Chains A and B, each alone.
Chain A
């Protein structure tokens, strides 16, 4: 593992690499935190309650800590959304509580201009509240008093019930933004680290190493392994910082996030190797990387939610790996498990295969 060890040693000594690896994501996340904490966002939720029962009151009260609740008429919703007086409009239809108690499948209509980071936690909270209500209705077996008592216990009460639902109390908007910048930094770092292969070629040490009893595949494997380890170190360091220094909400499973980002680091490395192989020199590599990475992270949703982009760009964003990792991260942050992101992870692995093929497609002979 000589090549592996010395590659790590060389990268860790390079100030430029360290800045790309750690300072860039930390800097961006600090900026995000300053923006999020600088202006605490108070969401306005407009509610139209046609049912007006004990359950709907409990439900509206429970929304209280998610934003400012405004009672409005249904025909005001569109105007207030457009004038930004409310961010979310909810309509509870007549007979909703009865439908819940009788185990039917009633719907609360929710209106927003775009489903952004701000509204997603609330809509997820509503889904959870409804799911909990249905469980309680099933236990109450149609008895409205028992049902109301159960709801009351659920809202005020025991930890046992509370723990059954993951915490969506804190907005994960800042976490998602932070992850966006981490994803960008991972791409930049992997290209910068892969540049060490280019440096070896330009400095002729690549040629010299291959005159030793070392096969090309051993050399590449150890280089790739060292990049992978360093990318994990980058992710873990940034995670620790996000969780313990910035006190960000990292969702219910840090492990799942790490797994998703591990898959993405394979994509990053394959991307870096492909770019290194296709570039003629380090200059070209440095010029190419922002040209490719910036559009990738912009389309993928690192800087803003993908949903606010025009339809054509959203469709286009499907062909960049950043989209799929950010979708995975968002899903994990909002409580979904690894099984629910297998498609996204599969797509990411496909990207890495394509990039690796691009990287190895060129040259069968070593140029001296």
Chain B
């Protein structure tokens, strides 16, 4: 195991930020850490990086105890922080050089690695520019270049795609897969379940500091296969509608997102005609209907009763 967290507890006064979390990550994985904002993902990462002291439990990275070998362990970790952590007054080249030097790279090796990291993120041609002139996506890519240039064994990516355009997001997701193929183990945190679903092999879902589920994508989805999920596009919103649908036999959960109704129903409840009836009786027109396959979003919704983006 490249990372082993056992019964980790972190408290901020009365708030339990990490509640008895246990996670094991094998070498070579892209490991997804999924949870809504404020679930405790960043606290967990700060703890792994030795920035936040924990109250109970233990953390082992590369088979070494973090508390005793923090300095040594950090040399082999790369972090892509949630917020852009680059110097806006240094050029792209200097930014990568700075972090390379902090990891002990010097001379020709340093130069080679800077070129490699900037090429990897597609920023070599803009190396002499300061990030002030960059788009959001380019800044995010520079954020990654600074994290990977020292060839870390473990790369932690904390919400690396927040607030960027779809093209840059795809580039970043591709680069995550490439980095993994090049030999790095990756911890990828996000509240975008589709990203985690696309690239991660194993996933842990966190909420309120607790690990509420973990396993492969398939294992997690099988947890909710005893339910049916119905997505209905409607013409207008009627606030009595949700209450009316919740009363239908077999309906476990009903939520409204814009003009889209999401209904979770017990499997084989045979209540579809009754649901349609309730909607039509309220003078709401049905524009479309889709019976959804289980997703990680669905897993989260089932386990916590709320959406990942809440």
Contact = CB atoms under 8 A, between A and B. Distances in A.
Contacts of B258: none
Interface in A199-224: 203-205, 207-215
A181 B82 CA distance: 44
B94 A6 contact: yes
A10 B90 contact: yes
Contact of B74 (A13, A203, A212, A365): A212
A204 B89 contact: no
B79 A210 contact: no
Nearest to A202: B83
Q: Is the interface of A mostly helix, strand, loop or mixed?
A: helix
A212 B99 contact: yes
Interface in B57-75: 71-72, 74-75
A10 B79 contact: no
A245 B83 CA distance: 48
Given A205-B87, A207-B51, A365-B53, A214 B42 contact: no
A204 B83 contact: yes
Interface stretch (B100-108, B169-177, B204-212, B277-285): B100-108
Given A204-B84, A210-B51, A368 B94 contact: no
B98 interface: yes
A2 B98 CA distance: 7
Given A2-B98, A213-B74, A14 B104 contact: no
Given A2-B101, A10-B87, A208-B81, A213 B75 contact: yes
Given A214-B102, A366-B52, A368-B42, A208 B71 contact: no
A207 B80 CA distance: 11
A208 B85 CA distance: 6
- Chain A interface size, as a band, is 20 to 34
A213 B71 CA distance: 5
B46 interface: yes
A9 B88 CA distance: 13
Contacts of A366: 46, 51-52
Contact of B85 (A2, A10, A203, A214): A203
B205 to A, nearest CB: 22
B308 interface: no
B52 A365 contact: yes
Interface string B242-282: 00000000000000000000000000000000000000000
B90 A2 contact: no
B77 interface: yes
A85 B104 CA distance: 72
Given A210-B51, A212-B74, A2 B102 contact: yes
B98 A6 contact: yes
Contacts of A365: 52-53
B174 to A, nearest CB: 23
Contacts of A368: 42, 46, 51-52
A13 B53 CA distance: 36
Contacts of B81: 204, 207-208, 211
B132 to A, nearest CB: 12
B86 interface: yes
Interface in A79-135: none
A13 B89 contact: yes
A10 B101 CA distance: 16
A263 B265 CA distance: 75
A215 B87 contact: no
A139 B72 CA distance: 75
Interface in B27-59: 42, 46, 49, 51-53
A7 to B, nearest CB: 10
B81 to A, nearest CB: 6
Interface in B162-203: none
A288 B89 CA distance: 25
A228 to B, nearest CB: 21
Contacts of A204: 81, 83-85
Contacts of A214: 102
A203 B83 CA distance: 8
Interface of A: 2-3, 6, 9-10, 13-14, 203-205, 207-215, 365-366, 368
13 contacts: A6-B94, A6-B98, A10-B90, A203-B84, A204-B81, A207-B81, A209-B102, A211-B77, A213-B102, A214-B102, A365-B52, A366-B51, A368-B42
The 4 A-B pairs at the shortest CB distance, nearest first, are namely A208-B85, A2-B101, A204-B85, A212-B102
Given A208-B146, A213-B102, 17 more contacts: A2-B98, A2-B101, A3-B102, A6-B87, A10-B90, A14-B89, A203-B88, A204-B83, A205-B87, A207-B85, A208-B79, A212-B103, A213-B72, A213-B74, A365-B53, A366-B46, A366-B51
